[in-house]
Structure 1
Amino acid sequence: MDYKQASDRELWDCCRKDDMQAYNEIFSRYYPRMYHLARRYVQDAMRAEELCMDQLFHLWVKREEIHIISSFSSYLFRSIRNRVITEMRRNLPVMTGLDEIAENIQLDRSSDYGLLLEEAEHTYREVLNKLSPQRRQVFMLSREENLTYPEIARRMNLSVNTVENYMVAALNSLRKNLHEKVPSAIIPLLLLSDFSSSYL
């Protein structure tokens, strides 16, 4: 089998049959992009590496139990986003400062925090749906599928410069509208996309 040319699904099927070489190909194929995604939100490079390593190790350890129905890449990027969200939640007071949180809202983690996240996600979806169709599509392709700007440009038949402009405009609009309705401490979590209270 030519592992380099194999599809993700073929590699995963082999991986589930204890094929370490298939797993190593998955690792080399996806670790750099997972790390790049984690580093967008985790300032500590070593911690970002640990999160990605842990997630990929988890993939191997639980290979017989994990059933991937969606695309393999979507599963991996969603899984590392969930780890990053958990990390950000754990370090939220450190990252944003207790004064900022107190200024925006008093968070009772045992009760109000979960409700706040649910309301914040609802607001995020509303704001996202108000973007123009192309801006929204560019944003979702970047965040949900982790495509690069050239990849998005090819998929949407646009220039890279246009994709960049759409992305900047989408982020500016999201930040502006979210800032008016959502505590600023929560906004970085929302802009990870794939954000859902069911993941937290």
Structure 2
Amino acid sequence: MDYKQASDNDLWQCCQQDDMHAYNELFSRYYPRMLQLARRYVRDAMSAEELCMDQLFHLWMKRAEITIATSFSGYLFRSVRNRIISEMRRNIPVMAGLDELQEDAQLDRSSDYRLLSREAEHAYRQVLNELSPQRRQVFMLSREENLTYPEIARRMNLSVNTVENYMVAALSCLRKNLKEKVPTAVIPLLLLSDFTNTLL
């Protein structure tokens, strides 16, 4: 089998049959992109590396149990986003401010967080829809499909420089408008996208 030319799905099927060579090929294909994604949100480089390594190690250890109904890359990057969000939730005081509103009450933090996340997701979608169609498409291709700028440029028939400009403008607009609608600490989680699906 030519592992370099094999599709992701073929390699994954081989992994499920304990083929380490197939796993190593998937690792080499996706680890750099996973790390690039993690480093956008996890400040400590070592933590970002550990997060990605843990996810790939988990994939191998649970290979017989994991069923991937969608694309392999889609599954992998959603899994990484879940781990990034979990890491951020441990390190960012998302609930700051709610205690001040109900100092004398015992908060149910789980239900409060779910309520906050629903409201934040709604605000995020509103702000996203206010972007121009091309800026919104660039942002979604980057965040939801994890495409690189050159890949987005080819898909949209744009220059890489134009894609970069659209992305900078989209992020600037989203951050500015979200600050008016949701707690500052939640904004990095929203900009990871897939917010509702991963948190609720």
Residue 88 of structure 2: aligned partner? 88
Task: State the 1:106 CA deviation.
Answer: 5.2
Cα distance, 1:103 vs structure 2:
9.2
Match of 1:52 in 2: 52
Amino acid at match of 2:66: I
Pair 1:163-2:185 in alignment: no
Structure 1, unaligned runs of 5 or more: none
Matches within 5 A, 1:1-200: 1-93=1-93, 101-102=96-97, 108=107, 109-196=109-196, 198-200=198-200
Structure 2 vs 1, CA of residues 172 and 28 (structure 1 numbering), >3 Å: closer, same or farther?
A: same
Length, aligned pairs only = 195
Tell me the distance in 2 between the aligned counterparts of 1:154 and 1:104: 48
Aligned structure 1 segments of 4 or more residues deviating by more than 3 angstroms:
101-108, 197-200
What stretches of structure 2 of length at least 5 have no aligned partner?
none
The letter for the 2-side match of 1:83 is R
Letter in 1 for 2:83: R
TM-score (norm 1): 0.91
Identity %: 76
- Give, in whole Å, the separation in 2 of the partners of 1:176 and 1:104: 25
The RMSD of aligned alpha carbons is 2.0
Secondary structure, in 3 states, of the residue corresponding to 1:3?
coil
TM-score, scaled to structure 2: 0.91
Over 3 Å counting, the alpha-carbon distance change for 1:15 and 1:182 in structure 2 is same
Q: CA deviation at 1:144?
A: 1.1
- Judged with a 3 Å threshold, the aligned counterparts in structure 2 of structure 1 residues 193 and 105 are, in CA distance, closer, same or farther, namely farther
Question: Structure 1 residue 128: deviation in Å?
Answer: 1.0
